[in-house]
Amino acid sequence: MIEKQNNQELMSEDEIDEDIEEDEEYEQDDEDDEEYEQDDEDDEEYYEDDEIEEYEDERLNLKKVAHDGLVTDNPLFMQFLGLCPALAVTTGVINGVGMGILAGIVLILSNILIALLCRFIPERMRVAFYLLVISILVLAVEMLIWAYMPEFSMSLGIFVPLIVVNGIILSRAETAASHGLLHAGLDGVFTALGFAVALFLVSAVREILGSGMFAGVQIFPQEYAADMLVSPPGAFIIIGVLIAAFRYIISKRKMEADE
């Protein structure tokens, strides 16, 4: 009997010990759950901070893309691209701005299409794909211009179909292929705007000084104008002077910013 009682006491003590151990385990599990919840909250805060930083980076990238397209990587004044239309069609503001708009339309649309479709094209065939997309867009633009503005199309002549081999569009195609859709579209917009502004400046100076007119409106008698500036050699001179002035202003601002 005594041994039986002792065994029962031992069993009760063991049960008590087991209950205590289970309670400790439950408490430990509760502490672990609290730690996991705290970790989840920390992770959420971390991801929110990352999203804020990414948003700020996107804003900075937008400013950079705009500055590059208009100033730092201006197609005509900084990269010397698009010289053929700049020399040939900038005898008047209307022709110069019109060429800038047409090239800009093709540039923006080609950037967007290339950014959307380049992932499906093998790398060795990308250049041919770029030319195919640009050719289709130029053909469509040329047909629309010829249908609705035949006189304007005739004044631009062969330089509308030559947009296919425009160095600006081909150079931005690879940039569009290596970035996302939004970046490619913005890059096309600001690069096209930079090129159009450059053509406007060249054509305005040539038309005013070379023929005494602005956008077809006579400003001063033509006998006081320098006819040579309307010719191709005059275009070289005007473009050279504008490039020098543009680069001088940029370098001066950069030096002031460094100081």
Element of type H or E holding 259: none
Predicted confidence band of residue 136 (pLDDT cuts 50, 70, 90): very high
Q: Tokens at residue 132, please?
A: 């195919």
pLDDT (tens digit per residue) in 5-31: 444 444 455 555 555 555 555 555 555
d(CA 78, CA 68): 10
For residues 97 and 208, the answer to whether their CB atoms sit within 8 Å is no
Q: Give pLDDT, residue 31.
A: 59
d(CA 70, CA 88): 22
- Average pLDDT, integer, range 80-88: 86
Name the percent of the chain lying above pLDDT 90.
20
> In the predicted model, is pLDDT for residue 198 greater than 90?
yes
For residues 219 and 213, the answer to whether their CB atoms sit within 8 Å is yes
Give the three-state DSSP class for 219: coil
For the question of whether the overall pTM of this predicted structure is more than 0.85, the answer is no
Give per-residue burial for 155-165: e unless 16+ CB within 10 Å, then b.
Answer: bbeebbeebbe
Q: Tokens at residue 81, please?
A: 């691209």
Which residue type is seen at 97? Answer: V
Q: What is the DSSP string of 40-78?
A: HHHHHHHHHHHHHHHHHHHHHHHHHHHHIIIIIT-TTTT
Q: Give pLDDT, residue 202.
A: 92
- Average pLDDT, integer, range 164-173: 84
Give the three-state DSSP class for 215: coil
Q: Which segment of 74-83, 111-120, 156-165, 217-226 scores lowest on mean pLDDT?
A: 217-226
- Average pLDDT, integer, range 76-102: 88
* Residues 6 or more apart whose Cβ sits within 8 Å of residue 253: none
pLDDT (tens digit per residue) in 27-82: 555 555 555 556 555 544 444 444 444 444 444 477 888 888 888 888 888 888 88
Which stretches within the chain are classed as H helix? 2-67, 83-88, 93-117, 126-148, 150-156, 167-178, 181-211, 232-258
Give per-residue burial for 177-212: e unless 16+ CB within 10 Å, then b.
Answer: bebeeebbbbbbbbbbbbbbbbbebbbbbbbbbbbb
Q: What is the DSSP letter of 89?
A: S
pLDDT (tens digit per residue) in 199-244: 999 999 999 998 888 887 888 887 888 888 888 888 889 999 999 9
Q: Give pLDDT, residue 57.
A: 45
